[in-house]
A and B are shown apart, each in its own frame.
Chain A
Amino acid sequence: MSTGVSGGAAADVVVVGAGIVGAACARALARAGTRVTVLDRGAAASATSAHGEGNLLVSDKGPGPELDLALVSLRRWTVLAGELADELGPRFPSVEHEPKGGLVVVASEPGLAGLRELAAGQRAAGVEAVEVTGEQARELEPDLAPGVLGGVHYPQDAQVQPVVATEALLASARRAGAVVRTGVEVTGGLRGADGRLVGVTTSAGDLAAGAVVVAAGPWSGEVARRLGAWVPVRPRRGTVLVTTPMSQRVHHKVYDGDYFAATQSAGAELQTSAVVESTRGGTVLIGSSREQVGFDDRPRAEVLAHMARRAVAVFPFLAQTNVMRSYLGFRPYMPDHLPVIGADPELPGLWFATGHEGAGVGLAPATGDLVAAALLGADPAVDPRPYAADRPTLSALRPDVSDAQAAQVTCASGTTEKAHEGVRP
């Protein structure tokens, strides 16, 4: 294998982060015969992966590398859901893979024109995108607002229960030999004599490894800094509302046409759009909001009000329903709206699988496969270059050595020295 794993390493690969992406990487690597240890400073499946909706979407992605990855990954999910069910047995909670399809709706003529243009481009990229009239939309979703003029139906969109999905991937990885250690925080990197990253220091001692994969979601920037590297992931806060259970169903994942614009924006100001879907539990999940407020976890009623207005505009019946819970989490936002999957350009031994923003659950299987292929020298299912950490859109942002901050790095010999973020070898 290409990792140059030394015989004495405690693990071939350390994956930092036990969320959906880390779990998918761990499973892919473990099933390929690699000795994997997953570390998480908290619990598994409890941060970003536990605070989203479990979207598997192609509809919200314009033509380009993210959509290419999504198309592959959503096909993978279809197979994976069955594999996990077979492997883990009927007593394991269901990942609730539901190929329910997405329905994007708009209430204005300009909005409809814009949506159709987007759909045409998506179709050219291989997406099933069926234009529907307002009447057809209401046949698909009888409770839609009368003002809906039309939209696009995306049969490939699907949903999973993200926490069960993460736990299932981790359980499967464990069965393939992976070790999952929660409550263990990475504090720094172990360096070989040649400067290569050969493991991590943690709150529970050092752990040698042939390679380190950072899959820490929005915290990946901080983990990278501790390891002496740089990745421009930032938190982008999102909020979800949950209604009480009801017999009434929203049959598809339904969202308003502004959602696409919100995912593609770089704005720091509050953006909301209606994203509405039922769960098997009978609740309706209502998203979404995007705010760039760092890791500030203080909820604001104003955000809930904005989201409620959007949702009621699409589904008037929701005005009568009760919201019983809200939760907020942090998406791993990338300035160029693409995940980082691949080797760090400057620190050998360091790999990234992060920056999926709101699409991590959908993109996790393909991400895990890409990471495994890259680490093991296998042929990737998709061209990995658009997601590389040294792509031009990221290199342009890379800080100079002079303004880099000190990171804590321990030489494999045990001595500690100051390393610098972004130091070029």
Chain B
Amino acid sequence: MTSHRISAEADPVRPGADRPLTIVVDGEPVTGTAGQTLAGVLLGAGRREWRTTSGGGAPRGVFCGIGVCFDCLVEVNGLRDVRACLRRAQDGDVVVRQGPDRAGAQEADR
């Protein structure tokens, strides 16, 4: 696991008690901590990519981390185009991978 949540014991900020939460990502449960963004939950659980680009079908996750690059877009509870780096996770959130978004267009280009 590359990206990860810092373990409470080792964390110099001395965190208080965490309130765990679980979201469902493409059908799989992923656990995180209340107060984390969706990106924080995903990265904390070792997932670094959760979107497929429109044109090239390449994997993407967080790049800018502050809501500017739109690489981290996910569908949340049926609503597309939510920036995972900004949206706080809620227990039970259903997150679905976005993309590629040009199926129809590729047909037209044929």
Contact = CB atoms under 8 A, between A and B. Distances in A.
B104 interface: yes
Contacts, number: 36
A279 B101 CA distance: 12
A420 B71 CA distance: 58
A278 B104 contact: yes
A94 to B, nearest CB: 8
A98 B80 CA distance: 27
A300 interface: no
Given A98-B108, A245-B54, A282-B54, A322 B81 contact: yes
B80 A281 contact: no
A280 interface: yes
Contacts of A280: 102, 105, 108-109
Interface residues of B, number: 12
B79 interface: yes
A323 to B, nearest CB: 10
B10 interface: no
B26 to A, nearest CB: 16
B103 interface: yes
Interface string A297-318: 0000000000000000000000
Contacts of A279: 105
A246 B103 CA distance: 9
Interface in A345-376: none
B81 A244 contact: yes
A247 B103 contact: yes
B101 A245 contact: yes
B80 A249 contact: no
Interface string A258-286: 00000000000000000000111110000
A320 B80 contact: yes
B19 to A, nearest CB: 30
Contacts of B100: 247
Contacts of A247: 100-104
A285 to B, nearest CB: 14
A280 B101 CA distance: 10
A347 B41 CA distance: 72
Nearest to B108: A280
Contacts of A244: 80-81
Nearest to B102: A282
Interface in B64-110: 79-81, 100-105, 108-109
19 contacts: A245-B54, A245-B101, A245-B102, A246-B80, A247-B100, A247-B101, A247-B102, A249-B104, A278-B104, A278-B105, A279-B105, A280-B109, A281-B54, A281-B105, A282-B101, A282-B102, A320-B79, A321-B80, A322-B80
